[in-house]
Structure 1
């Protein structure tokens, strides 16, 4: 819609400053000629929008000009309500600020859209952590968040899984990530990832943290997750699995079944599934009971068979 595009142009210029017609066209996925026509429409509407020629030229808004754009569409308002932010804001110590911002946003909405949003909030609730996750608490999360916002180095006492378990670390905070209800701190040197709920003690220093200019938190997190999963599933198991067993697979195993599974005449599926290691593969596949048969590797098949024999002997007298 043209009206939506005009609003987007104003928001882009307000947030980014000077932009060329080519840059605006790329952002809006339209032609440069369309941008020219949109700029003419904004001029006609009295918007103080100026264009400068030359190598350093481009469009810009008059210095000090601010738009008061409150015309959110219904889907945009829904996205804000369904973002699942209140709980995270509370954990970060921003609950009061979030409530104030939401109140201001609600007041800016037209009455019909305000009623629509109120109904939506009454019908939807987001609880991100898994069913079996327990709230271990992260008492130092607000201080960590303050250090991230202020760019200050942290001196922490941290508990890790290997010996020595409790160690002192100097951390330069690059950013916080909320994953499945748990907060993680990405920090230098490295950078490396630390669970915030494993911080035993913390001091926010006056030393300024130095973050690499090219560091992208979202890109770093995606890359680290891909590396984690690549290192996690280093083995493979050839299996036959029933339709019922297939529904109980998840994650990498479910994806592998969908991508390389071969249907067999009896309705079962033959596939190569990624596994973490011998112990995990044994426990995971054994949990599927009679809904799966391990064909290879032979040592995994023999280990599961030995466990089944032990169970049969144990329950033989029952």
Structure 2
């Protein structure tokens, strides 16, 4: 809402005229209701203590511009070991123990602000809630939650955080939200790997493709082998040939399925890193994340080479048997 709209005159009845801002103030005084705007954080960020200090500075500037009478903040730090630390101000947060070896799972920042609008004597409350999740820390806590083909952690991988503002005056809330969004855009982000992202979109086909190629290779090789086998008059040789083809097909399906599943899961688990870097435990978690991504790349390459070698070996066995 623009300043012009807020200051526009509204006829209330008779000869009574009020500005939209005054009318809104009366409505909120009578109902006691507040509205809310919110926004999800949808990109993997790389955040440290200095970034949080910049956020606090921007909020303080906004409060000064509106002549806020009261501003207090509350910071809650959640660690992967279940330990929670609460700081009643940002100055106290500066004393946070950076030697802590338990990575940060999430950080919740709450600002409670009281503003008295110009032309009014009533104090108006605003509440800003910023939730920031460290995906690297969450991985340390949930890395064992993998059951069979399902990795529970994938349900949390894109939950980077959320911003919400409870407000009375939308223009004020929009100003706060804009400042927070500009701060967020100034952060460092994980570069997007388009090749990995494209492979992940079609990774569910990889297993079927590898199995199909393996079975096709075995079928072609067994067809060449069958020509020489059935051309002979020995019934025992024919039975052995059929048994070999059946056994090779079954084994090829199993090994091809293993290779395809290995490649599919390894590609899906290559994820952009996102973290809150506040203590030494976070450094360890970040190192583990990079190591896991590197291992997944190696596993996916190994799975592809394994499938190629499997097809070459099966072709050679049938060639050797038919010679």
Q: TM-score, normalised on structure 2?
A: 0.22
Q: Which has the larger radius of gyration?
A: 2
Structure with the largest fraction of helix: 2
Query: Scaled by the length of structure 1, what TM-score is found?
Result: 0.22
